[in-house]
Structure 1
Amino acid sequence: MKKDISGDRFAIQFWGVRGSIPSPGPTTLRYGGNTSCIEMRIGGKRLIFDGGTGLRLLGKSLSPSLEEEIYMFFTHYHWDHIQGLPFFFPSFDEESRFIIHGQVPDEGEPMKMARHFRDRVLHLNSPIPIAQIRAQMKFHDLVCGELFTLDDIAIETAPLNHPNGAMGYRISWGGHTAVYCTDTEQFPDRLDENVLHLARDADILIYDAMYTDEEYHNPKTPKVGWGHSTWQEGVRVCQAAGVKRLVVFHHDPNHSDDFLDNVAIEVEAALPGSVLAKEGMILHLDRLNDE
C-alpha cells in the first residue's frame, strides 16, 4: 500500500542513520545499521536525501508505482550514500517519476548530472542489471550556494568540508526549517561558516556526529582529515547558530547501541532536547515541541 503523505505538513523519517558502511548485527538493532537515507514529507511532496542502504527500506514502504513525483537529493556520491539505489523498488516501474538533484564532482571532465548519474552512480558493479531501472528520470544540476524552490518549499545549499566534496541542504516550508548537514568536518581554529549559515535559527540540524571529541583527537587512532565531525561540535554549531534541536546522525559503524545510549545521555545533558537518529524515527516539525 502506498504511504499516504497528504496529512504530513513537515515530517522527517529516518531510514538509514549509519556512516561509511552498513553495520548489521545484534549490537546495532535499536539504532539501525543501514547507511544514510532520510525522507521529508512536506506539503504533499516527497523529498529523499541520499540513497544509502536505508533507501531499500523506504522503497519497501511504498507502492511499486507512485502517483506523485519523487524528488531526490544527494550530498555526494561515496558508496554509503548511493548503495541503496539499485534496490529501490519504485525505480523498476516505468510509471515512477524521479527528479534527481545533485552537483557533479569536479574531476576535470565537464559532465552533466544526467550522465554522471547513469555512468557513475548507477555503478556497473551493481548486482542488479541497471537496464532494468525503468523509472522516468529528470535531472537538476545544482550549484553549491544556490537557493531554489519547489513550489513553496525553499532549498538552500552550501559546500561542506569532506574529501571529494559534499553539499549541505537547508529546507524551509511553512515557517519551519530543517538542515541536513552530513559528511562534514569542522576546522581546528573555527566553526565552518558554511555550516553556521545553513543552520541559522533552524528548527532542527541533522548533523554528522560520527565521533566523539575524544575519538577525533585520539593520537593513537586519529580521525582528523577523514571528513567527519563530533557530537560536541554539533552542540557548538547549534549554540552558535540558534538551532532549536540537534539530531545526531551518521553514526560510526563501530558504535554499538549501548555506546550510543551513553552518547544520547551526554548530548541531552549538553543541549537539552537533542536526540540521536534511529531507523524509523519520525519528527514532525510543525509539532516539534510536543514530541
Structure 2
Amino acid sequence: METNPSSDFVVRFWGVRGSVPAPGMDTIRYGGNTSCVEMRVDGKRLIFDGGTGLQVLGRTLQPQMPITAYMFFTHYHWDHIQGFPFFTPAFIRGNNLYIHGAVPPDSESMQQHFLERVLHPNSPVPLAGMQANLKFSEIICGEPFTLDGISIETGRLNHPNSAMGYRVTCQGHSVFYCTDTEHLPDRFDETVLHLARDADLFIYDAMYTDEEYHNPKSPKVGWGHSTWQEAVKVAKEAGVKKLVIFHHDPIHNDDFLDGIEQQVKQAFPNSILAREGLEVDVCHPTVPATVQTPV
C-alpha cells in the first residue's frame, strides 16, 4: 500500500530544464531533465508538469504502489509532457492519476486533447497499455478551486499558445509555480505579481540572463521566457520569502549556472537555483534545502 507522502508541505524537483533535455557530463550537478515538480502537501502528492523528470519520479514510486497522484499541467509543449508516455505508474492497474489542465482552444475536452493529440501520435507505447485509473479535470484559468483543504489559484502566463501558473496554499503556506512566462517590457505582470504575493516559495522561469534576452545578435524577446533579474524584481515587489530559479536553458552548463546562482544570491539572498533532487520544506523555512539522490 502507498505510504503517506507527507503531512507537511515539501517541494521536490525532478526536472529543471526548459525546451529540450540536456544530458551530459557538464550538466550533472543541476540535471538535464525537463520540467517536473512534485509537491507533497498534507498527505497528498501533487505533480506539476510531465517533462522527462516525470520518468525518474515514476521509478522511485514503484515500491509505494498503488499510488494516488494529482497531476497539473501548465501547458502542452514538449518539455512539459514528454515524460508522461514513460511514467511507470500510468501503466499499472490500481494506481489513480487525477490529471488537471486547461482545455486548448482547438479541442472539445482536456481528456480528448491529452489522449488523442498529446499521447496517441507521439507515444511509442499503445494507449491501451495504460491500466491506471486516469481521471481528467478541466481547469478554467483564473478560477480558484480546492482539493480537500488545499487551495489552488491559477493565472494566465505570457507564453506562446498560453500557459498557466499555479499557486498552492495549505495551512497558511503558499508556493507559486510560475514557469514558461515572459515578463512585460514596461511594468509588472499583475497576474504574476498577484499569485506571487507573500509566497513562501516562488518558482520562476528564468531561462535567460538579461544579456541573453537583449542580445542584439540573437534576442530572445517574444520567446515566452524570462530572466533571473526579472525574477528578483518580482520576488522583491511581491514580498516573496524564498526564490527558486527554474527552467534552465539547455545550453547553460553547471559552471554557468553556478555563476548565475552567485549573482542571484547577491541580489536576493534567500534564493537558490533549482536542481534535480532539490527538496524544500515549505512549512519549516529554517530547515536548509537539501539535494536528494533518486534511488
Which TM class, normalised by the smaller chain length? over 0.9
Cα contact 1:201–1:241 (8 A) shared by 2? yes
Cα contact 2:19–2:250 (8 A) shared by 1? yes
Distance 1:175 1:4, change over 3 A: same
Q: 2:126 aligns with which of 119, 124, 129?
A: 129
2:32 partner SS? coil
Cα contact 1:73–1:100 (8 A) shared by 2? yes
Matched to 1:195, the amino acid is: V
Structure 1 residues 235-274: aligned runs within 5 Å: 235-274=232-271
Distance 1:3 1:256, change over 3 A: farther
Q: 2:223 aligns with which of 221, 226, 232?
A: 226
CA distance, structure 1, for counterparts of residue 117 and residue 12 of structure 2: 27
1:288 corresponds in structure 2 to: 285
CA distance, structure 1, for counterparts of residue 134 and residue 64 of structure 2: 14
Cα contact 1:38–1:48 (8 A) shared by 2? yes
Structure 1 residues 203-222: aligned runs within 5 Å: 203-222=200-219
1:195 partner SS? helix
Q: 1:117 aligns with which of 114, 119, 122?
A: 114
1:259 partner SS? helix
Provide the alpha-carbon RMSD of the alignment.
1.3
Distance 1:3 1:243, change over 3 A: farther
1:279 corresponds in structure 2 to: 276
CA distance, structure 1, for counterparts of residue 72 and residue 238 of structure 2: 24
1:100 corresponds in structure 2 to: 99
1:19 corresponds in structure 2 to: 18
Distance 1:6 1:89, change over 3 A: closer
* CA drift at 1:191: 1.4
Q: TM-score, normalised by structure 2?
A: 0.95
CA distance, structure 2, for counterparts of residue 39 and residue 140 of structure 1: 19
Matched to 2:124, the amino acid is: P
CA distance, structure 2, for counterparts of residue 260 and residue 85 of structure 1: 27
Unaligned runs of 5+ in 1: none
CA distance, structure 1, for counterparts of residue 78 and residue 161 of structure 2: 13
Structure 1 residues 142-181: aligned runs within 5 Å: 142-181=139-178
Matched to 2:221, the amino acid is: V
* CA drift at 1:134: 1.3
Cα contact 1:56–1:88 (8 A) shared by 2? yes
Q: TM-score, normalised by structure 1?
A: 0.96
1:272 partner SS? coil
CA distance, structure 1, for counterparts of residue 259 and residue 64 of structure 2: 42
1:46 corresponds in structure 2 to: 45
Give the share of equivalent positions with the same residue, in percent: 61
1:37 paired with 2:36, answer: yes
CA distance, structure 2, for counterparts of residue 231 and residue 5 of structure 1: 35
Cα contact 1:70–1:98 (8 A) shared by 2? yes
Matched to 2:16, the amino acid is: V
* CA drift at 1:274: 0.3
* CA drift at 1:3: 7.3
Matched to 1:258, the amino acid is: D
Cα contact 1:65–1:96 (8 A) shared by 2? no
* CA drift at 1:290: 2.5
Unaligned runs of 5+ in 2: 289-295
Matched to 2:99, the amino acid is: I
CA distance, structure 1, for counterparts of residue 137 and residue 47 of structure 2: 14
Cα contact 2:198–2:238 (8 A) shared by 1? yes
2:128 partner SS? helix
2:283 partner SS? helix
Cα contact 2:2–2:64 (8 A) shared by 1? no
CA distance, structure 1, for counterparts of residue 31 and residue 120 of structure 2: 25
* CA drift at 1:64: 6.6
Distance 1:94 1:39, change over 3 A: same
1:183 paired with 2:190, answer: no
Matched to 1:186, the amino acid is: H
* CA drift at 1:114: 1.2
2:62 partner SS? coil
